[in-house]
Amino acid sequence: MKLTGLSLIFLVAFSVRVIAGLTVFDEIVRTDSWVQYDPMWHLVQSVANGKGMAEGGTEPVSSAQPLCPLICGFVSYLFYYGDSMICFLLFNALVSALTCSLTAFLCFELFRSEKIALISGLILSFLPHQVRIDLYFQDQFLFNLFLVMSLIYTVRFFRCLCIKHAVLTGVALGLTFLTRATLQIFIVFFVFFVFAEYKKQSIKFIAITCVSFMFVLVPWGMRNYYNFGRLAFTDSDKWFSLFMAHNKYADDVITKYGAGVSQIYAQYLMEKNNIRISSDNAYEVDEFFKQKVIEYVKDNPLRTIRVILTNFFLYFSPVPLPRKVPGGISYNEKDGIIIGKELESKSAAFRDVAYALFFVPLVLLAFFGFVKHAKTDKVAWILAVVVLTQAITHAFVGPSTRYNQTANMIYAMFAAYAVYKFITPKRMTKALPNGS
């Protein structure tokens, strides 16, 4: 794909996000009190101050995958954006705009059409849901960037087995995993796809990909072994995240309201369950919550299944999930928490309608595009599996609006293909590869 098209998408996406952040979604810039409750933000500032990933700048922690705090902390150090919402808005907009451009490039890899790629990039640039969540500080915006990079190499690897593509796929997937550890199921499916396509011929290349993947993770694992005595490649909160969704006081809150204010909700659940933590080792604490989750699931199998199934379908919600928890526990700068207040703008109802008006046609077009293209190109199924496995992964811990962004990137590509098919005469579409 030509650089001019990618540059156009980048400039449009960046401009839309900056303008939206200063106007329509200006509460993101005006409201900065939330950062004092955000553990990720504290890790970023610890890195920026030269203390590494440490709590209070002294005790090493592993409560998050390292790439987001390290990258954002380095940028914060270089440009000293500290608690400045404007600077953080610009960085998010920059990364998200790059994601839009790379999504268009991935679309070009899939359909070999610059027009379809341009349409997909523009859809993602203007999609209200995507724009709004791109402006919030969380690890999802960097996860999306590394994921789309991974998918570019994944598509190339699937279509042409070679050592170069195998290594790059493994490295890209490793970097994505170090941003958010939610790729486990997808990686298993992808290995199955490659083996089913190439049989024994693929074993060597799959092994190279796995070695490259693990090579990227080793420094993080060794760091955790040195500090916590565990060769762990995931963060230390995975079982605690499950505990938040599966305990007798959760009362379907994750299902109904989304993950919400995790820090305060966690404190709330700890008190309600009368839990006191004595160990300072984060992974030992997570093992404690592992036992709690297993006990609860054994005692409440039907409720657990119902919650997981409901969460799975909520992943595809056409409107954002409200950020609140049982009793409406939410942030308050003065008192720490306040009961009965929702973390949403006053125009939430209007916003939800606007989102649905964009989202529903997007999904319908994407479904049409997928069905049409998947008949002749197996790569379409790999991209569909990305959406499916992300929905499955987050069904266990509860949905959140930001997790849907990954699916939106895939929707945009297939929707662009559908739009192109609708507006282009059949005689002109015959030039597309794979009979598309």
Please give the Cα distance from 381 to 54 (Å, whole number). Answer: 41
**In this prediction, what percent of the chain has a pLDDT beyond 70?**
77
More confident residue, 228 or 330: 228
Please give the Cα distance from 391 to 406 (Å, whole number). Answer: 10
- Model confidence over 44-86: pLDDT tens digits? 888 888 888 887 667 888 888 999 999 988 888 887 655 566 7
pLDDT of residue 14: 96
Please give the Cα distance from 388 to 395 (Å, whole number). Answer: 11
**pLDDT higher than 60, residue 393:** yes
pLDDT of residue 246: 83
**Measured between alpha carbons, how far is residue 213 from residues 142, 166, 167, 185, 345 in Å?**
18, 10, 8, 15, 41
> Cβ contacts of residue 307 below 8 Å, gap of 6+?
245, 246, 252, 254, 255
> Cβ contacts of residue 322 below 8 Å, gap of 6+?
257, 258, 342, 343, 344, 348
- Model confidence over 155-209: pLDDT tens digits? 999 999 999 999 999 999 999 999 999 999 999 999 999 999 999 999 999 999 9
pLDDT interval class at 424 (50, 70, 90) = confident
pLDDT interval class at 146 (50, 70, 90) = very high
Angle at 188 between CA 293 and CA 379, to 5 degrees: 135
Please give the Cα distance from 106 to 1 (Å, whole number). Answer: 10
More confident residue, 276 or 233: 233
Q: Is there a contact between 97 and 20 (Cβ–Cβ < 8 Å)?
A: no
> Cβ contacts of residue 50 below 8 Å, gap of 6+?
77
What tokens does 47 get? Answer: 């890195």
**Measured between alpha carbons, how far is residue 249 from residues 47, 109, 290 in Å?**
35, 47, 17
- Model confidence over 213-227: pLDDT tens digits? 999 999 999 999 998
**pLDDT higher than 90, residue 368:** yes
Complete DSSP assignment for 69-82? HHHHHHHHHHH--T
**pLDDT higher than 70, residue 312:** yes
Please give the Cα distance from 359 to 112 (Å, whole number). Answer: 25
pLDDT of residue 214: 96
Claim: this prediction has a pTM higher than 0.85: yes
User: Residue 13: which of 411, 427, 409, 431 has the closest Cα?
Assistant: 409
- How many whole angstroms from its chain centre is CA 223? 24
- DSSP collapsed to 3 states, 233-244: CCCCCHHHHHHH
